[in-house]
A and B are shown apart, each in its own frame.
Chain A
């Protein structure tokens, strides 16, 4: 269905091709997953299928790409619109009209289908994707998962033979991601659609894939094959695969179900042991790295913090300039209610954050996680209840003073960066925080060893940008650090470095609150998990208790090893090592 013949793509003024030596065929009716670390050209490959590369992006494409027999060289994207449906990373920038029903019909209108055909297909698609109740809603009022489904629906109505999706579940909560994947499954099984998708969160998708295409490194030729075979060598892999590699299972299990079948002996071995504390508390952060590096030998990127063999405290010398004694909490929220518009975004929320503690806020899109974080930095005035951060009341404190109490890295780290170069950004951060010149640059050097001063923040990768924003926030040395959805768009390597870094910060006494959909991240990092639903706290407790008891928030390792209380691969690895 999709055929690449010796394809290489070179963008405008780039010295090396973005991808090269691509020679593969995706047969009809397959769900094909494109994996690889950040920056290996996954998006380039996807866009070459729908003709946006090179017709829209510019650059030179050598070789030949054919889709359903049509050569993209001679067919512009709009002439492929009836064969290929494309959904990009951000569904919002995909929408042309303003209501769900019009959006579903837009593609068909462009193709000039007859009105009765359009009507029938819109109704079918509304049912297929469970959108019937939303048909008259304005698109801007939908949640993330609903938007993603509408975006998929809007390209499905033209009955394309090929569906191309770039990170369809990255921004979604676990339940919404399941919804979207169930739809894709159904398309492949019932309609014989060929689906090509790129995704960083492999734990969500890899078990559904018929084929996996691995782009191992920039400029390297792709490997294509059976998911289990590819996962055995892939530098990026989900925790269940890491566990399988660790335990030496063959063939590698890709789903929790397969892994449970093989996990009997391992469970027996582990039942005699108590799980070591997660993260850097007992063992230095290096342990985490060693295990994840050992399992992923091809990880090309050096760790975020140059991990010294010494104690974790020296890995990142950001002493929390905390005015509070360790006994007094970093933040206290009591009876907090916040109105946004007519509804309560938060309703009688009580939360205490202690220094050195890491808390994961979880819950579906729109549950009030971001509102809680932004209230902690004073962007919303509480309608009732109180918020104290250290000894300050956030919404009554000037930004300059508040900076010393609390720092927030927003969902889009780019929002924090205004300057043209990394150096200018650092200078501005020093100035904002009245820190000695060079303190931000020191942090950046630690977090991103190989980023030159002259780079524009927009040219950094997602992970690098996050690290830069984090450095900017840490310059003021706030005792309380908030992160909103930090792993969106990060590959496993970048995520591992982030985890290590946050462990080090927590060990130094920083309190960390992160809002996330990423259950694996919460399992690795959090001491406590707080689950929000409709603005209320519905669960609050130690991670191993809260997360293990919930089917949608449990990490893969805990599902595989249940009822044993193990949460992460690194825990298992350390326990086995210690025993050996």
Chain B
């Protein structure tokens, strides 16, 4: 089935994207095989490249990739400096060890750095980075504000507050950039840490003013209007919600403690039911209605299902091929690519074919900025994948490019995960050097 262009009506439910991404993340948490993790990153990157929009929130993917790299870096530095609990025989280098007093036994600074320890740290870091990239993919593909529409009515107002708070950060960054540029006009250096510090107060003042203005606007537009609810219902709501939460706490405790295994589960379930009933009743106080909520259709099932299937198959694979999923660091071995788990990961590519195509990417779309994208789609999937990787590189500068492309810092060269990533450097030469993510229109219009 060919994917329709994404409009408000056909748009995929935000929850489906999140389920898909969490499925991939679950799969990532079940393996330390760098080849499989690389394949997962490739799958997520390909889908993002094929289905993300021009919207501002879609640009966060690059930030998540950078964060992933940072995590790997930190993990390696710690393993290098603080040593690793993994014993090993291949000494890479011996650092001078800092003598520590007796009470700090078990902590080591400096000393022998073994290849095994570093490889173990790398696998570990890569796993965490993959988790982050999966979350980043969900962020790029689904508008976080749309998820709000699926919240129960009683939580909606709190949800709006959270989303407004989330927009605070990008605004703050924009303010800092503008004010640092303005420092130049005063003849002061516009780079460096000091410049950042000195604009701090004006930035916070500006942010505060904007928040107050927004609060006034929201108030004037009816935020927080409530319906009249009989007193009895209000009290029942409080009792149910409060009691339910208590039940959930007690039930969880029971499940975790050995003695309470018997009553834990029923208590937890009863608590959950009561809390949900409380939320439902609480929703009657809110007069809100919902405008065009997203529908959960067949495509949403496919997208969510592919993620869940990937997770389930990886959990199964832990049963039949545990060794291949967790290549040992001691002794050092070259990890190999287990066929069936790898094949099951490729199921995660399904959304790239069934999810509706965002407007900027439809062939022949009239928008100037989308021209090169449209071309990319015409020439087929290989090119599209290359584009994805290159735009990641653009967001995270050259470093990010290196990590996502096949020759990532793992000890043995990864085989090219999807056929697409290998062609990345070749197919997308120019765009990789220009930073593409900022939407041209924003940049231009905000001037």
Contacts and interface: CB of A to CB of B under 8 A. Distances in A.
A362 interface: no
A98 B145 contact: yes
Given A78-B223, A96-B223, A343-B369, A378 B184 contact: yes
Interface string B213-257: 111111111111101000000000000000000000000000000
Contact of A93 (B210, B289, B369): B210
Contacts of B336: none
Interface string B185-220: 111111000000011011001000010011111111
Given A50-B220, A81-B225, A458-B205, A115 B290 contact: yes
Contact of A416 (B145, B182, B224): B182
Contact of A84 (B54, B210, B220, B289): B220
B221 A155 contact: yes
Interface stretch (A101-109, A252-260, A265-273, A521-529): A101-109
B445 A76 contact: no
Contacts of A371: 447
Interface stretch (B65-73, B127-135, B303-311, B432-440): B432-440
A98 B54 CA distance: 13
Nearest to B189: A399
Contact of A96 (B57, B214, B443): B214
B402 interface: no
Nearest to A76: B219
A81 B439 contact: no
Contact of A399 (B183, B222, B435): B183
Contacts, number: 207
A81 B221 contact: yes
Interface residues of A, number: 87
The CB with the most chain A CB atoms within 10 A, among B198, B219, B222, B288, is that of B222
A218 interface: no
Given A78-B225, A141-B439, A407 B185 contact: yes
Nearest to B359: A136
Contact of A403 (B54, B56, B187, B198): B187
Nearest to B291: A105
Contacts of B222: 78, 81-82, 107, 110-111, 158
Interface string B410-447: 00000000000000000000000011101111111111
A65 to B, nearest CB: 14
The CB with the most chain A CB atoms within 10 A, among B210, B215, B221, is that of B221
Contacts of B224: 78
B181 interface: yes
A79 B224 CA distance: 9
A498 interface: no
Interface in B141-157: 143, 145
A549 to B, nearest CB: 26
Contact of B185 (A95, A114, A416): A416
Contacts of B184: 377-379, 399, 402
A400 B369 contact: no
Contacts of A473: 185
Interface in B1-20: 7-8
Contacts of A113: 289
B289 A109 contact: yes
Contacts of B217: 86, 88, 93-96
Contacts of B202: 414-415, 417-418
A504 to B, nearest CB: 22
A112 B288 CA distance: 4
Contact of A365 (B188, B227, B291, B445): B445
A144 B445 CA distance: 7
A76 B220 CA distance: 9
Contacts of B199: 418
B200 to A, nearest CB: 10
Nearest to A57: B216
A340 B440 contact: yes
B90 interface: no
Contacts of A472: 186
Contact of B436 (A79, A342, A428): A342
B187 A415 contact: no
A408 interface: yes
Given A50-B220, A415-B182, A399 B190 contact: yes
Given A88-B213, A90-B213, A97-B145, A370 B439 contact: no
A141 B187 contact: no
Nearest to A110: B222
Contact of B221 (A122, A154, A341, A369): A154
Contacts of A143: 445
Interface in A346-393: 365-366, 368-371, 374, 377-379
Nearest to A87: B217
Contacts of B227: 112
Contacts of A76: 219
Contacts of A114: 289
A416 B8 contact: no
Nearest to A407: B185
Contacts of A512: none
A345 B56 contact: no
B372 to A, nearest CB: 8
Contacts of B289: 108-109, 112-115, 118
A93 B214 contact: yes
A109 B288 contact: yes
B89 to A, nearest CB: 52
B368 interface: yes
Nearest to B145: A98
Nearest to B6: A136
A76 B222 CA distance: 9
A461 interface: no
A432 interface: yes
Contacts of B214: 93-94, 96
Contacts of A428: 186
Contact of B440 (A56, A81, A342, A398): A342
A343 B444 contact: yes
B221 A110 contact: yes
Contact of B198 (A97, A142, A418): A418
Contacts of A119: 291-292
A74 to B, nearest CB: 15
B55 interface: yes
Contacts of B178: 415
A463 to B, nearest CB: 19
Nearest to A408: B185
Given A115-B292, A379-B184, A78 B220 contact: yes
Contacts of A341: 435-436, 438-440, 443-444
A106 B221 contact: yes
A52 B186 contact: no
A567 interface: no
Interface string B360-372: 0000000011000
A275 B158 CA distance: 64
B164 interface: yes
Given A50-B220, A76-B219, A94-B217, 6 more contacts: A93-B214, A112-B288, A158-B222, A399-B190, A415-B182, A458-B205
20 contacts: A78-B220, A80-B220, A84-B220, A93-B210, A95-B217, A102-B291, A106-B221, A109-B291, A110-B287, A111-B287, A115-B290, A119-B291, A136-B7, A136-B359, A138-B55, A141-B445, A340-B438, A340-B444, A341-B440, A399-B185
Interface of A: 50-52, 55-56, 76-82, 84, 86, 88, 90, 93-99, 101-102, 105-115, 118-119, 122, 135-136, 138, 140-144, 154-155, 158, 339-343, 345, 365-366, 368-371, 374, 377-379, 398-400, 402-403, 407-408, 410, 414-418, 428-429, 432-433, 458, 472-473, 476
Interface of B: 7-8, 54-57, 143, 145, 160, 164, 167, 178-179, 181-190, 198-199, 201-202, 205, 210, 213-225, 227, 287-292, 359, 368-369, 434-436, 438-447
By Cβ-Cβ distance, the 7 closest A-B pairs, closest first, are A81-B222, A110-B222, A105-B291, A403-B187, A112-B287, A93-B213, A415-B182
